[in-house]
Every structure is written in structure tokens, then in C-alpha cells.
Chain A
């Protein structure tokens, strides 16, 4: 009786294993069975000799890593593995594991380190070279056997993520392209303001140069005065150049950066773009953030500037279009816990209740000019920065936009 039941159990287990192997063979995830006992024996010897820091040891003995690529052999693979490597036949893959590391040779060291340390799994994003010479992005996962399991079977899965990474990169590029297009469009709206801003220092330069010539044409030229004026000319030229530089960086189409930034500085720079529109419309900008300590966030300077410029331009237009008597924009930043909130409130007519949900939709606009992509772009930029943007009406009137961003704890780089 006892014998019979145990016999049936073994038979059941064998059938189960057979079914399992068929399943593995047909599963869409590429799989490798690998026999790493040869390396395991070397590790046992090293451990007996007192080795603990295996990573340092492998750094010092690259020849062991190279040897391991030949000692460790693939014993079994599935159909998906053959397809991934574009092999003609399964036999091409049943050999030492060296080919798995062809495009990321260093990974072998890390896989061995995890093995030595007795970890259960090791996962790394890596590159794989297929047999027809293409390099694919993959997630390389290793599961190590632990007793009492069969020690001859280390299990490797390789997931091809090339398409996923390409799609993600394409999305990021599209987002950056849209942000750039919106920036150029905003700069177009601000062209008059920017021209005015550049003309100020140029006008000072011309007058100071004229005055210098007058001093020089005197019978006794006033060189001290000319020196002073020349210094001021250089300073004005620098100012004009700085304005143009700001415009150029807004116009530039470049990969978004991720670096620590002082949000207060970002606001300062954004302010330059709208200063003359504020003056022209007789709008006072009240900055509660002026002179405060730096607030660090991580992100792209130009894109965050774009968000601030957009919010300010919207507020200016809201006040101007409504012909409001009280003409103010209040800008403040508040830091709470790990978040900073930038609030922009205007004294315009506010947002119609029915539109509050749609203001961030692309191509939603209540204005006669503009495509209505400004706020949609703002939202996607803020989301890319791990934050959120909300629109509301202030209880005391006017629209209130709030941008919430995570505060960075990274140090400011030079």
C-alpha cells in the first residue's frame, strides 16, 4: 500500500515535470538552464581560503571571470531563446555562456558576485548581441539554485525591452518637441516685449558712446569721464547679451536636462521675459518669494522657466482682456515637507467653473489668439518633473494656478 502510493507519487511527479518542460519550452519568455557547478566549486575553495570580498577579488582576477564564461555551460533553452538570438538551431545556444555576455562583458562579474554571496536572484538591464550582429536592450535575470534543489540548474531569463525603451524615448522626444514648439510660440507672443528689453541697454550704449565722443572732442578731453562711460557701455552690452542668451536658450531644441536648480532663480529668469508686458499693461507683480533662500528642485531649467512664463503670460492676458481695475499678479513659493508649491494668482475674472476641468486639455482655449497648448504643455512638463499642476479660482477672485514639485536633496552643482 505504502509502496504503491509512493510509486504513484513519483509517476505523478515525472508527468508533472514533463508537462512543466513543455510549458517552459513554449513560454514566450526566453529561458536558459545553465550549469554553474564548475564555478561553484571554485567559489567553495576560495571561501575555504577565507575570501569574503568577492567583487574585489574578481576585479583583481579578470582571468577567473573570463574562465567562468567557458566553464559555465548552457544545458537547455526554450524556443523563445532561439528566436531572441536569431539562431538557426537550438544547438547554437547549448554551449558555454560566453555569448550571453558579448555586449555587456562586465555583467559576468556581477552575476558571479551575486552567486558567491548566495543571493537568490540577480537582475540587470543590459545589452545583448544577437548572432546576426544586432544589439538589443534586455532585462537579464538570474535565479541561483540553493540546496536541496538541483544545484546543476541556474535559471536565466532574458526579456527584450528594446521596443519598450524605443517607445519611451520616442515619447520623451515628442514631449520635448511639443514643449519646444510651445516655447517658440510663446516667444513669438513675447517678441515685442523682448525687443523692448534688448533696446534699453542698446539705447544706453548709444547715448553713452555719443557722450564719450563729445568729451573726447573737447580741447582737453575728459578721459576719466570717458573711462567711466566706457565701463558702463561694456556693462550694458553684457546685459543686452544676457537677454539674447536667455532667448536663445528658450529657442534651442535640446534634450531636457535633469539637474539641481534653484526655483527662485528660475522664476527670476522667467520674469525677464514678461517684465515689459507687465509694465505695458500696468500690472504689478508681487513676489512673495523675493530674496528667499534657494529652493532646490531637479529638472530642466528651460522647461521649468517655460512653465513660469506661461502661467505669467496667462495671468497677464486674463487681466488685460478683462480690463480689470485691480491689476495684480501674486507669485509665491511655499515649501512644505518634501514639496514646493509655486502659486500664481491674478486679479483677472478667474476660470469659469465649467472650464476648470478642461484648462489642461490640449487645444482648449477661451482666447482669440493662441492654440491652447500652453497649459497642456505646462502639465506635461510638470508631470515629467514628478509634480502636478492644479487650476482653481481664488476665494477672493481671480485664477489661482499651483505647481507642486518635489524638493531636491541633491547638492547644487557648480
Chain B
């Protein structure tokens, strides 16, 4: 089965969304940005996205709640949780919830790109 090429970025912060899109662009990865978990879910169906990069704290549904929703309907979709929170609880919840990676802002570009490359196998 061909891996769908589009990476989803979910972050309520416009500057961060744009920055992540540009980082993927320089590596010729295509992406689609969403300003909330809700707008992502509206566009999501199994097989549409290659992976998801999500922020945690957002107005409305949080990134951790989004993770649960994704795992329920597309368990194999790799999710990277990106946050500026440094508490271990959030990390634990993310990893327990099935996140493939947990990155703390500001993120190292190589870390993110390495994870994405690993998903592509």
C-alpha cells in the first residue's frame, strides 16, 4: 500500500504552523495545517494523512484528546506530540496514548525530520 504523502500539522499558533510547514517544504514534504483538533478531524479519514504533528494546549479539544480520537479510528497513523509544556505527566499521557514521539518546543529540526523519515521507513 502506498504511503499517503500529506503530513497534518495541528497547532493553534499561526506562526508555529507556518514555521513547521516551511520546514517540511524545504525537505520536499507536503503538509496541511489545521488551527484546531476539530478542523483536523473534519478533514480526517483513514488513509488521508501520512502522519500528524499536533500541539497539546489548544482552545477546544487538546492534542492529547485528539490523540485518543485518532488512535480509535486509525491506530496506525503516526502522531508526534509537540508541546511547550515540560511536565512529565503530559509526556506520559502522550506516550501511553500511543504517540510515536514527544517533542518539546523549541524543537530541533533534525529530531522532527528523523522521526518523519522513520515513519516512511
Point out residues on A near B: beta carbons under 8 Å: 195-196, 199-208, 210-211, 214-215, 225, 229, 232, 235-236, 239, 276, 278-280, 282, 284
- Tell me, yes or no, whether B19 is within 8 Å of chain A by CB: yes
Known A-B contacts A201-B15, A276-B57; the reply to A211 vs B23 at CB < 8 A is yes
Q: Which residues of chain B (1-40) have a CB below 8 Å from chain A?
A: 12-13, 15-16, 18-20, 22-23, 25-27
Q: Which residues from B are CB-within-8-Å of A235?
A: 15
Q: Which residues from B are CB-within-8-Å of A214?
A: 23, 26-27, 109
Q: Quick one: which of B16, B20, B23 contacts A200, CB cutoff 8 A?
A: B16
Proximity bits, B43-63, A CB within 8 Å = 1, else 0: 000000000000001111010
The DSSP consensus for interface residues of chain A is helix
Q: How many residues of B are in contact with the other chain, CB < 8 A?
A: 24
Besides A214-B26, A232-B19, 9 new A-B residue pairs in contact (Cβ under 8 A), listed by A number:
A200-B13, A204-B16, A211-B23, A214-B23, A225-B22, A229-B22, A239-B15, A278-B59, A280-B57
Q: Which residues from A are CB-within-8-Å of B107?
A: 203, 206-207
**Given the complex of chains A and B, what is the CA–CA distance between A206 and B18 in angstroms?**
12
**A282 and B19 form a contact (CB under 8 A):** no
**B109 and A210 form a contact (CB under 8 A):** yes
**A204 and B13 form a contact (CB under 8 A):** yes
Q: Quick one: which of B58, B62, B105 contacts A203, CB cutoff 8 A?
A: B105
**B26 and A279 form a contact (CB under 8 A):** no
**B26 and A206 form a contact (CB under 8 A):** no
**A195, A207, A208, A211: residue with the most chain B Cβ atoms closer than 10 Å:** A207
A347–chain B nearest beta-carbon distance, Å = 16
Total number of residue pairs linking A and B with CB closer than 8 Å = 72
- Tell me, yes or no, whether B84 is within 8 Å of chain A by CB: yes
**Given the complex of chains A and B, what is the CA–CA distance between A257 and B18 in angstroms?**
40
A290–chain B nearest beta-carbon distance, Å = 15
**B84 and A200 form a contact (CB under 8 A):** yes
**A279 and B22 form a contact (CB under 8 A):** no
Q: Quick one: which of A208, A225, A284 contacts B19, CB cutoff 8 A?
A: A208
Return the chain B residue nearest A282 by Cβ.
B62
Q: Which residues from A are CB-within-8-Å of B16?
A: 200, 203-204, 207
**A208 and B22 form a contact (CB under 8 A):** yes
**A202 and B106 form a contact (CB under 8 A):** yes
**Given the complex of chains A and B, what is the CA–CA distance between A75 and B12 in angstroms?**
81
